[in-house]
Structure 1
Amino acid sequence: MSSLALMSRTARRIEAATPARRDRAVDGLRALALLAVPTGHWLLGGFTRSPDGALHNASPLGAFPGFAPVSWVLQMLGIFFLVGGYASVLSYRRRKGSTRAWLGGRLARLGRPVLGVTAVWALLLPLLHFGLGVPVDTLRTASTLVVQPLWFVGVYAVVTALTPYCVRAARRLGVWAAAPLLGSVAVVDLLRYGPYADAVPSWLGLLNVLPGWLFAYQLGVSWGEGRVTRRHAWTLLAGGAALFAVLLLLFGYPASMVGVPGEARTNSHPPSLLVLALAAAQSGAAVLLRDRIGALLRRPALWAPVVVVNLSAMTVLCWHQTAMLAAAVPAAYAGEVAGLVGAPDSAGWILARLAWMPVFAGLLVVIGRYARGFESPWTGAGPVRRTLAGVLAAGFGVFALGLG
């Protein structure tokens, strides 16, 4: 059987197994937002090599600030939180047990893959250093990259725990339940960047972490409760786009949605008002395009990849940086390699990096074949193994955060 015939047969099988009530548009939006994460990290993250052979993080945005609009397209966490809130409402309604049991099940599905990737890397660190001679600075760079997307899981777990309260707010206030969150971030930004910014402690920005990401999640909950109309969606799209333009052009917000080395301000860590403006515009567009996306995904050939990506969501999130490192760390022994190891400061680097993207994707597929088991319940793991995994994960976190 040819590969095309096998793919067609698999697509038909997935189509036949899909329940009629499945909201394909929401799944499609989730898959799109999820794939934007590795795409953004692979495209906008590079490595320089020091004389001792160690790898250090770099970004082409430092040399090509005109590429900042690319980050507007690839920053789709607002969409991810939006569809997360929507899906949580549906799941919350269908729960058979208590709210506590429902929440425990969802948090376990988030936590297992995180424990898996951090425990595996805790075992890899001494092997790579003492067995293969990988420099400590390379391992610190690698650890930082592995941990980088995992903050999202922690924030997502917190907002998921708030689902019952978000539902109550949506039923009482509808789409306006998200407005206080927007206002909260605006106030903190005014304090951080306004006329009295010098008197404000640096940690104040952390107050934006929860309301900043809860904003899109609350919109998703309101959407799932049927409280977001097309008129609301148009308002979100137009209002978000207008606010985005005003903040960018008149208030000096950084153009990039991701951090740029050497820049004092960043939009995403913690989220600024610009992130919420983009999330509002994206959310409005998602609601308006829902029917068209759903109709498009009625085609088995398009629906099958969406299902595969969603079934491996946490594997993609947790292991995509490992896939890039699997190519970069060995390449460092050969010196500079175009698009992989070397300053990302030329058009040649960008073209070469685009050529490396399929390689990273292939490595992720290979790694995912083994790592996806962490997403399933650890039925064979007793308390000792679970405790050991937790200890290894904690040790890796200490190293990655530079505390050890």
Structure 2
Amino acid sequence: MRRLGQLAERTPAGRERYVDLLRALAITMVVVGHWGVTVIDRDAAGRPTGHSALGDLPWAYPVTWLAQVIPVFFLVGGYANAASLTRRKARGGDAAGWLLDRSARLVRPTSALVLVLTAGAALARLRGADATQVRTVVWFATIPLWFLVAYLVVVVLTPPMYALHRRYGLLAPLVLVGLVALGDVARLAGPTALAGGNYLFGWLAVHQLGFAWYDARSAAANGPPAGTAPGSPEPPPATATPAPSESDRTGVRRRRLPTSRPVALALLAGGLAAVVLLTVVGPWPVAMLKVPGERLDNTAPPSLALLALAAAQLGLILLLRDPAERWLRRPRPWRAVIAVNLVVLTVFLWHLTAAVLLIGLLDAAGLLPTPQVGSAAWWGWRIPWLLMLGVVLAVLVAVFGPVEARSARHRPGRRGGRTSRTRAALTVAGYAAVVGGLLVNSATPQRAPEPLGTPVPALVAYLAGAGVLRLLRSGWGSRG
């Protein structure tokens, strides 16, 4: 509590606290949503299994328009990444050094999860557990890593994509939306694999909107932002909104994101109208979360309907900003937001592991209920289920949260400085190995016979990439 108070007192007056609140709310909603729709039943051998309840609750599909908040995280990520990259360059640093610093906050907590799950899988195999069952458990626990793959990719692409934003403004996300539309047409006419590029284009489009929001909250004449954020990059001072458009040195007229109340209302109403047209009238599913058995999915990869929802969410975010900022000036709410943000990635990474542990404990004790989805017993079980999961996750965060909290304070590049080409290339290679390892794990089938839970090539690639990034952060190769 003392540290939270100190961080709250040191918060710069111009900090955009709303960004931190949105990040904390988005991850909290993801966690509660995953827990809430989980259905526990048993397979033919009597072992506990889990799946989503959405397939049995079609009336809840419109509710997913509120529950789908991953676009909010990418929007906030774009804002924060633009702010921290701008600050880094203002101190004389470069993009490669920025990427290296960002890897501490993102990769360290992930490595803790990967190593613990691998050790647990190895122990289970030594005790005679079936390799397929081991993989099933690890697969479920590592579902959050698919999101991290996408986010790590947009982080690596932040420097060039922010350069495009600085030159072309809102034209950049509009082009990406057009590419998503082409992918949607392709998968409507043929296999869903034809829209694979939407995994990149869709999340990049939302991330670019985060750049635009940052740009709208800071003017070039105000100079770089000052101060260091508690647990995340420091946004710029909240000064007067700059002009809607400007011309850069290339002569290209760059359109800024207008943030007035009429524009926010237009984004909210227009985005919701587009969602209705694309889902209720058009071919896309109404549900904004994955529904078991459905051919088309709005999130895997992102569809036009999801991007329309993101536009509506941005409108709502802009409408609520001023009252939220006033509320966050109070000490207690701000300290709570700081506390969540210090361990926000840990909460996300471990929340399904908490479910695995609780299911195993209840099953071992003979106390695991498996009521039918939608029944009174199932709904009644939601409250104790969520409360017990909260307790288990709190224990996990207490154990592993310090890894992330220490990473937030680890800023080896605070004084700036240029990065050699060799170190820059190794940084990108480290990210590529980490992303490749996580991607292979996510693509490996749930019931593949993997003795370590995670495919060995994926594990080797991930650990090699994380190791390279760790060595580079420690200063290895910085001389000569």
In the superposition, relative to structure 1, how do residues 250 and 336 fare at CA in structure 2: closer, same or farther (>3 Å)?
A: farther
Identity of aligned residues (%): 38
Q: Matches of residues 379-398 of structure 1 in structure 2 within 5 Å?
A: none
Equivalent-residue separation in structure 1 for 2:40 and 2:85 (angstroms)? 43
2:132 and 2:448 in contact (8 A); partners too:
no
Specify the alignment match of 1:178 in structure 2: 173
TM-score normalized by the length of structure 2: 0.72
Equivalent-residue separation in structure 2 for 1:125 and 1:181 (angstroms)? 40
Q: Could you tell me which of 139, 158, 163 is aligned with 2:158?
A: 163
Equivalent-residue separation in structure 2 for 1:214 and 1:123 (angstroms)? 35
Deviation at 1:352, TM superposition (A): 0.8
Equivalent-residue separation in structure 2 for 1:401 and 1:294 (angstroms)? 47
Q: Could you tell me which of 35, 44, 57 is aligned with 2:50?
A: 57
Equivalent-residue separation in structure 1 for 2:95 and 2:186 (angstroms)? 38
In the superposition, relative to structure 1, how do residues 40 and 171 fare at CA in structure 2: closer, same or farther (>3 Å)?
A: same
Equivalent-residue separation in structure 1 for 2:376 and 2:205 (angstroms)? 37
Specify the alignment match of 2:373 in structure 1: 344
Q: Which amino acid is the alignment partner of residue 236 of structure 1?
A: L
1:367-393 CA deviation, whole Å, 9 max, x = no partner? 1111124323599xxxxxx9xxx8xx8
Specify the alignment match of 1:402 in structure 2: 448
Q: Secondary structure at the match of 2:368?
A: coil
1:188 and 1:204 in contact (8 A); partners too:
yes
2:131 and 2:449 in contact (8 A); partners too:
no
Q: Could you tell me which of 374, 384, 387 is aligned with 1:358?
A: 387
2:204 aligned with 1:214: yes
Q: Which amino acid is the alignment partner of residue 148 of structure 1?
A: I
Q: Matches of residues 324-335 of structure 1 in structure 2 within 5 Å?
A: 324-334=355-365
2:141 and 2:356 in contact (8 A); partners too:
no
Q: Secondary structure at the match of 1:94?
A: helix
Q: Which moved more, 1:50-59 or 1:264-273?
A: 50-59
Q: Which amino acid is the alignment partner of residue 45 of structure 2?
A: D
In the superposition, relative to structure 1, how do residues 187 and 126 fare at CA in structure 2: closer, same or farther (>3 Å)?
A: same
2:295 aligned with 1:260: no
Equivalent-residue separation in structure 2 for 1:58 and 1:297 (angstroms)? 37
Q: Could you tell me which of 41, 55, 58 is aligned with 1:48?
A: 41
Q: Which amino acid is the alignment partner of residue 82 of structure 1?
A: L
Specify the alignment match of 1:105 in structure 2: 101
Equivalent-residue separation in structure 1 for 2:44 and 2:187 (angstroms)? 39
2:346 and 2:400 in contact (8 A); partners too:
yes
Equivalent-residue separation in structure 1 for 2:134 and 2:31 (angstroms)? 20
Equivalent-residue separation in structure 2 for 1:56 and 1:136 (angstroms)? 16
Equivalent-residue separation in structure 2 for 1:32 and 1:183 (angstroms)? 30
Specify the alignment match of 1:82 in structure 2: 75
1:171 and 1:222 in contact (8 A); partners too:
no
Specify the alignment match of 1:274 in structure 2: 305
Deviation at 1:333, TM superposition (A): 3.4
In the superposition, relative to structure 1, how do residues 267 and 396 fare at CA in structure 2: closer, same or farther (>3 Å)?
A: closer
Q: Which moved more, 1:82-91 or 1:326-335?
A: 326-335
1:77-109 CA deviation, whole Å, 9 max, x = no partner? 111111111111111111032211001211332
Deviation at 1:169, TM superposition (A): 2.8
Equivalent-residue separation in structure 2 for 1:222 and 1:279 (angstroms)? 14
1:98-152 CA deviation, whole Å, 9 max, x = no partner? 2110012113321121221011101101323543x76655533322222211111
Q: Could you tell me which of 395, 403, 425 is aligned with 1:374?
A: 403
2:26 aligned with 1:33: yes
Equivalent-residue separation in structure 1 for 2:40 and 2:176 (angstroms)? 37
1:199-242 CA deviation, whole Å, 9 max, x = no partner? x3442121110111111110010111123222543332222111
In the superposition, relative to structure 1, how do residues 337 and 355 fare at CA in structure 2: closer, same or farther (>3 Å)?
A: same
1:170 and 1:225 in contact (8 A); partners too:
no
In the superposition, relative to structure 1, how do residues 401 and 82 fare at CA in structure 2: closer, same or farther (>3 Å)?
A: farther
Q: Which amino acid is the alignment partner of residue 38 of structure 1?
A: V
Q: Which amino acid is the alignment partner of residue 9 of structure 2?
A: A
1:259 and 1:268 in contact (8 A); partners too:
yes
Q: Could you tell me which of 263, 267, 276 is aligned with 1:245?
A: 276
Equivalent-residue separation in structure 2 for 1:325 and 1:306 (angstroms)? 27
Q: Which amino acid is the alignment partner of residue 313 of structure 1?
A: V
Q: Which amino acid is the alignment partner of residue 110 of structure 1?
A: L
Where structure 1 has 5 or more consecutive residues not aligned to the other structure, the ranges are: 1-6, 380-385
1:25 and 1:297 in contact (8 A); partners too:
yes
1:48 and 1:56 in contact (8 A); partners too:
yes
Deviation at 1:185, TM superposition (A): 1.1
Deviation at 1:396, TM superposition (A): 7.2
Q: Which moved more, 1:155-164 or 1:314-323?
A: 155-164
Q: Which amino acid is the alignment partner of residue 135 of structure 2?
A: R
Q: Which amino acid is the alignment partner of residue 21 of structure 2?
A: G
2:77 and 2:210 in contact (8 A); partners too:
yes
1:11 and 1:303 in contact (8 A); partners too:
no
1:188 and 1:205 in contact (8 A); partners too:
yes
Where structure 2 has 5 or more consecutive residues not aligned to the other structure, the ranges are: 217-255, 411-429, 451-480
Q: How many residues align?
A: 378
TM-score normalized by the length of structure 1: 0.85
Larger helix percent: 1
Q: Could you tell me which of 344, 358, 383 is aligned with 1:313?
A: 344
Cα RMSD after superposing both structures: 2.7
Q: Which amino acid is the alignment partner of residue 283 of structure 1?
A: L
Q: Secondary structure at the match of 1:225?
A: helix
Equivalent-residue separation in structure 2 for 1:342 and 1:207 (angstroms)? 40
Q: Which moved more, 1:166-175 or 1:250-259?
A: 166-175
1:71 and 1:258 in contact (8 A); partners too:
yes
